[in-house]
Structure 1
Amino acid sequence: MIAGGPRPVAPFSHAVEADGWVFLTGQMPTDPAAPDAPLPAGIEAQTRRVMENLRVVLGGLGLDLSHVIQCRCYLTEFERDYAAFNAVYQSFFPPDRRPARTTVGVTALAVGALVEIDMVARRPAEGAA
């Protein structure tokens, strides 16, 4: 668990690491500072909050978005929200360093969220630049 990280909505760890591979649990658009506050309105605001929550988890592990290898994204309103989701999501990565990604439409997510994103990151090898 990451100090200051989002409050889990189920029994899980924020991340698990094995041999330099870091698997981040899907994050919800909850505010770590006010976990019982209403979710942000709309896919853009929820996507930003999810990505910021993932940054918090990565930061707690001494990593950042440049270490992300793969993302899985889940949208409850895929057709309606896909373009707006992409616009926000891509702003978090440089065009020449985007992780592999799968985006899936789902029927529902915890806490009534519109979006959830999980990640796989890789810790650099000792001495690697």
Structure 2
Amino acid sequence: MVGPQFHLFAAGPRPVAPFSHAVESDGWVMLTGQMPTDPDAPDAPLPEGVEAQTVRVMENLKIILQELDLDLSHVLQCRCFLTEFERDYAAFNTTYQSFFPADRRPARTTVGVTALAVGALVEIDCIARRP
């Protein structure tokens, strides 16, 4: 059994709270929920709309996975959080599903929440597994 490894990557988005980008143990990798912030311009305004924010969040998850020599094909489960669930759920689903082949979509839970850090409309965390 390998003890946990705590990963914080310079290439990743600037953390909005005290956390690691990912924690890994025994081949399991838990990625912290990503916000729709731009890693190259962390103080820039967030993208407008749930579709653009979902793309940015997924791209941020891809950055963290890449730093771990993984990709979205290694993701087994996602938890998604929306501040405007009823308004944004359909548009979120359309954008989210474009990142995964139809026959390899992770298990997923989507929850409506009252607020997210940095005023985001969407946040996604995930669990991946090394081959």
TM-score normalised according to structure 2 size: 0.94
Please state whether the residue corresponding to 1:54 is helix, strand or coil. Answer: helix
Aligned residues: 124
Deviating 4+ runs (over 2 angstroms):
none
Structure 2 unaligned runs (5+)?
A: 1-7
Q: Answer yes or no: is 1:83 the counterpart of 2:90.
A: yes
| In 2: Cα distance, 1:121 partner to 1:78 partner | 25
| In 2: Cα distance, 1:29 partner to 1:76 partner | 13
Match of 2:117 among 97, 110, 115: 110
8 Å CA contact retained: 1:3, 1:60: no
1:1-129 pair list within 5 angstroms: 1-124=8-131
Structure 1 unaligned runs (5+)?
A: 125-129
Letter in 1 for 2:24: E
**How many angstroms does 1:3 deviate by?**
2.5
TM-score normalised according to structure 1 size: 0.96
| In 2: Cα distance, 1:19 partner to 1:3 partner | 24
Deviations 1:31-83 (A, max 9, x none): 00000000000000000000000000000000000000000000000000000
Task: Name the % identity.
Answer: 82
CA RMSD after TM alignment: 0.3
Please state whether the residue corresponding to 2:95 is helix, strand or coil. Answer: helix
